[in-house]
């Protein structure tokens, strides 16, 4: 999700949840840097991973 406020963009992401665990984050960048900001966010999202606890509690 992205929101423009004046000359800045705020882009946020939220992962799917496993139980009560998940990950979220955001980046902020100037409108003039929108292309670079979106590239950085997409690069990050393609490479991030995390292992949330299983719902059965076996890890």
Contact status, residue 55 vs residue 18, Cβ threshold 8 Å: yes
Contact status, residue 2 vs residue 11, Cβ threshold 8 Å: yes
pTM over 0.75: no
Q: List pLDDT tens digits, range 19-38.
A: 777 788 889 999 999 999 88
Nearest to 23 by CA among 44, 2, 43, 3: 44
In this predicted structure, the answer to whether residue 58 has a pLDDT above a threshold of 60 is: no
In this predicted structure, the answer to whether residue 2 has a pLDDT above a threshold of 70 is: yes
3-class secondary-structure state, position 37: helix
């Amino acid at each position: 999700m992205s929101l423009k406020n004046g000359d800045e963009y705020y882009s946020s992401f939220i992962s799917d949840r496993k139980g009560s665990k998940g990950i979220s984050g955001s980046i902020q960048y100037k409108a003039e840097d929108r292309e670079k900001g979106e590239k950085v966010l997409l690069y990050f999202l393609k490479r991030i991973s995390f292992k949330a606890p299983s719902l059965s509690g076996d890890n």
